[in-house]
Amino acid sequence: MDHESIHSMEWIPSAAMLRVYTKRFIDRLDNSRIALEPLVW
């Protein structure tokens, strides 16, 4: 992945996971109703 396309990163220690968000993905979020938050019941 080209470092120029990275918008942000999120470290989740409890899952030992690094989430990488691209600029294209964030643009799609801005123009849709997609939510990053998982549904919690």
Q: Which residue, 11, 28, 29, 27, is CA-closest to 19?
A: 11
Average pLDDT, the chain: 85
Which of 15-19, 26-30, 34-38 has the lowest average pLDDT? 34-38
How high is the pLDDT of residue 32? 85
Q: Give the residue-averaged pLDDT of 19-35.
A: 86
**19: Cβ contacts below 8 Å, ≥ 6 apart:** 9, 10, 12
| Span 20-40, average pLDDT | 81
Q: Are 22 and 6 in contact (CB under 8 A)?
A: yes
Which residue(s) pair with 8 in the sheet? 21
Q: Is the pLDDT of residue 7 over 80?
A: yes
What is the model's pTM? 0.67
